[in-house]
Structure 1
Amino acid sequence: MTFAADLAPPGHAPDAGVAAALRSALPSGEVATDVPLATLGRWRIGGPADIVVTPQSVETLATALAVIAEQDARHIVIGDGSNLLFDDAGFRGVVLRIGRGLGGIRNLGDGVVEAGAGLWVPAFVRQVIDWGLAGAVHAIGIPGTLGGLITMNGGSQRKGIGENVVRVDAIDHVGRMQRLTQDDLDYRYRASRLQRGDLIVVAAQLRFATGDRQALRREALSILAARRAKFPMVRANCGSVFVSDPALYSLIGPPGLAIERAGLKGVSAGGAQISPDHANFIVNNGGARAQDVLHLIRLARRSVAAMSGIAMDAEVRHLAPDGVMRPAHEVAELLADPA
């Protein structure tokens, strides 16, 4: 899940001076250069990023942001890259990766939990269940970090984590901290004020009801079993590609069923394939490029539109080399037609 807005980030492509300034200001091991983006995203696709910074504390994140602002360097912020398609040409900028260093969790009592943005979502849900708290189990199978889940109001079964959020601690792009309450966050289905991209979630407090620990564990195991039965688990993928549209759902069903009825289940382009297991997943069978995925997104979108009159929107976002972040279907429609 990403924290970036669908705009070109300010600043310029970093030079050697930016890397040197970051290395001077941050602890050893937090700055790397010329990093393949394929190692950072769940699709295992993407060219090199000029610089990748993985802060191990909120303090070093703030320091990194201050250095980047001072150097006027282009940058983006990501979590586990679970809804990102990185470009084959890479990214000419600094990637700030919110990882496990910002991933603690503690029980404050009375159903209130405080957790860091870098916490892996399934680990977060398991801990909440172990404390006998109900309301997070729907997210047990969602890959990604808690910060991304909170930003996207993520969840499953048409539920969203936003209803449990009490407050969010966030940092702006020059390193200043802010605290936002539930009322500030404007939560809607798979959307929030945080998606503007001007703030980076670093921690949150969430409130849950008391539940039966054993019943919650059984529910979690049932959800995971259902996901294993219908979703591709072996090949690299980013999860669902297209957003469920109410009009399409009432006419045909979810995007995966619509794509299957269009006859595209199992169709390949280069190393990418519309999954034979679930047609709203595109998998990397080995050596897939961003262009392969985009061709399949366009094919699925146009085919379903021809069949139903409804154009599906992608929830996956494409990151261009200059930092422009857009829904992948918009980029796919710009591709040249095959010869």
Structure 2
Amino acid sequence: MERLTDQDLAELRELCPGGVSMNVDLASISQWKIGGTADVILRPSSSAQVANLRRWFHERQMPHVAVGLTSNLLFSDEGLRVPCLQIGPRMGAVAINGTNVYAQAGTWVPGLARKLMKAGLTGGEHICGIPGTLGGLICMNGGSQRKGIGTSVVTVESVDQGGFRCVRSVTDCGFAYRQSVFQGNNEVITSANLRFVPGDRAVVRAEMRAILAERRQKFPRKQPNCGSVFKSNPAMYAEIGPPGEAIERLGFKGTRVGGAEVSPEHANFIVNRGGARARDVLALIAAIKHKVECATGYQLQAEGHYVGASGTIMPLDGGSQEDMPPDQPGCGGPAGP
């Protein structure tokens, strides 16, 4: 794959002043603490910078990838050979005007929830424990307690592959359970306008504390992880229960491959016990999917995504050329614990 020249880097530094980093250890920015080395990471500070960078890449037909705080990503053990746009704290501005909220895509979600509480607004309590950026939350229509951020969205601004900025109303965002149009259109979310409703600050604070306390009791916090690995399927939930319950019943808690482990605290989490590699995580995911389907007839779907060295992004259970383990045997085979 063609590398960036010195002239390329000089131009990128002009387009993204103060935001260009070379030879970045992906494990240092990964929530899972997994990944090789990225050749270059660009951290823009505005929608205009995102548009200019994407236009620059488009004009040169140069592939690139965009990420947030990586709370639902697994990076390749081979690293990342294409330029990476990371939308993070440099794009974290928030402005609250009555019930209307403007926030850039790099806004840290728990911080946004606290700002809403302090402003006496309700409707954002369910996001208070989600450790990611607003852009990633909107892309996944994320939330907790079976809620999604899409219910609070008014408009979303994004930048397409050619560097053109687009504003969509909530009806054009295609929000469904853990889904949005942004999951398949290769656009980078840069900001959003949201609307919440007035509430009692003390009541909102109490609900947020209760949600955080429940998360602390249920979910692993000490080892690096990317949150829930598998999505909840409403039909499976009604018949079998949530993914973690089905996985636990099959004896996966504590199962390890290399440094990756199915958390003893919650079976829908895979934690890095130290030195885990991407292929370790992928092997566990493949084994879990195989056994759950054999036992229940339901196919689990991964929440997160895998980022290959070439910048290809695919579902965690979608395989990869470089890290994917061998195919699983039939339902009578020895896969899993």
TM-score, normalised by the number of residues in structure 2: 0.92
Is the 2:16–2:42 contact (alpha carbons within 8 Å) kept by the matching residues of 1? Answer: no
Note if 1:168 corresponds to 2:156. Answer: yes
SS at match of 2:50: helix
Aligned to 2:285: 297
State which of 93, 96, 115 in structure 2 corresponds to 1:107.
Answer: 96
CA displacement 1:32-67 (0-9 Å, x = unmatched): 122121122200101111211011222322222222
CA-CA distance at 1:222 after TM superposition: 0.3
SS at match of 2:146: coil
2:75 corresponds to which letter in structure 1? F
Compared CA separation, residues 21 and 277, structure 1 to 2 (3 A) = same
Note if 1:322 corresponds to 2:310. Answer: yes
Compared CA separation, residues 325 and 13, structure 1 to 2 (3 A) = farther
CA-CA distance at 1:185 after TM superposition: 1.0
Aligned to 1:8: none
Identity %: 44
1:95 corresponds to which letter in structure 2? C
Note if 1:22 corresponds to 2:12. Answer: yes
1:67 corresponds to which letter in structure 2? W
CA displacement 1:70-96 (0-9 Å, x = unmatched): 332210111111111111011210100
Note if 1:284 corresponds to 2:272. Answer: yes
Note if 1:96 corresponds to 2:85. Answer: yes
CA-CA distance at 1:303 after TM superposition: 1.4
SS at match of 1:330: coil
SS at match of 2:317: helix
Aligned to 1:31: 20
Is the 1:14–1:73 contact (alpha carbons within 8 Å) kept by the matching residues of 2? Answer: no
CA displacement 1:146-200 (0-9 Å, x = unmatched): 1111121110111111011111122222322221111211211111112223321
CA-CA distance at 1:268 after TM superposition: 0.6
Structure 2 residues without counterparts, runs of 5 or longer: 329-333
Is the 1:21–1:67 contact (alpha carbons within 8 Å) kept by the matching residues of 2? Answer: no
Counterpart Cα distance in 1 of 2:27 and 2:145: 30
Counterpart Cα distance in 1 of 2:294 and 2:172: 40
State which of 42, 48, 51 in structure 2 corresponds to 1:62.
Answer: 51
CA-CA distance at 1:308 after TM superposition: 1.0
CA-CA distance at 1:143 after TM superposition: 1.0
Aligned-pair Cα RMSD in Å = 1.8
Counterpart Cα distance in 2 of 1:309 and 1:188: 24
2:218 corresponds to which letter in structure 1? K
Aligned to 1:218: 206
Counterpart Cα distance in 2 of 1:170 and 1:24: 22
Structure 1 residues without counterparts, runs of 5 or longer: 1-11
Counterpart Cα distance in 2 of 1:326 and 1:66: 23
Aligned to 1:82: 71
CA-CA distance at 1:16 after TM superposition: 2.3
Note if 1:72 corresponds to 2:61. Answer: yes
Counterpart Cα distance in 2 of 1:292 and 1:198: 28
SS at match of 1:91: coil
Is the 2:73–2:226 contact (alpha carbons within 8 Å) kept by the matching residues of 1? Answer: yes
The ranges of structure 1 where at least 4 consecutive aligned residues each deviate by more than 4 angstroms after the TM superposition are none
SS at match of 2:85: strand
SS at match of 1:189: coil
Counterpart Cα distance in 2 of 1:48 and 1:285: 20
Counterpart Cα distance in 1 of 2:112 and 2:231: 24
Is the 1:14–1:74 contact (alpha carbons within 8 Å) kept by the matching residues of 2? Answer: no
State which of 262, 267, 271 in structure 1 corresponds to 2:250.
Answer: 262
SS at match of 1:264: coil
TM-score, normalised by the number of residues in structure 1: 0.92
Counterpart Cα distance in 2 of 1:324 and 1:105: 31
1:21 corresponds to which letter in structure 2? E
Counterpart Cα distance in 2 of 1:64 and 1:152: 24
1:152 corresponds to which letter in structure 2? M
SS at match of 1:329: coil
Is the 2:279–2:324 contact (alpha carbons within 8 Å) kept by the matching residues of 1? Answer: no
1:43 corresponds to which letter in structure 2? W
2:11 corresponds to which letter in structure 1? A
Please say which of residues 281-290 and 238-247 is displaced more in the overlay.
Answer: 238-247
Counterpart Cα distance in 1 of 2:327 and 2:100: 53
Counterpart Cα distance in 2 of 1:245 and 1:182: 24
1:203 corresponds to which letter in structure 2? S
Counterpart Cα distance in 2 of 1:334 and 1:235: 23
Is the 2:285–2:317 contact (alpha carbons within 8 Å) kept by the matching residues of 1? Answer: yes
Is the 1:301–1:312 contact (alpha carbons within 8 Å) kept by the matching residues of 2? Answer: yes
CA-CA distance at 1:334 after TM superposition: 5.1
CA displacement 1:237-285 (0-9 Å, x = unmatched): 0000011112321222111111110001011110010000000000001
Is the 2:283–2:324 contact (alpha carbons within 8 Å) kept by the matching residues of 1? Answer: no
Counterpart Cα distance in 2 of 1:210 and 1:258: 39
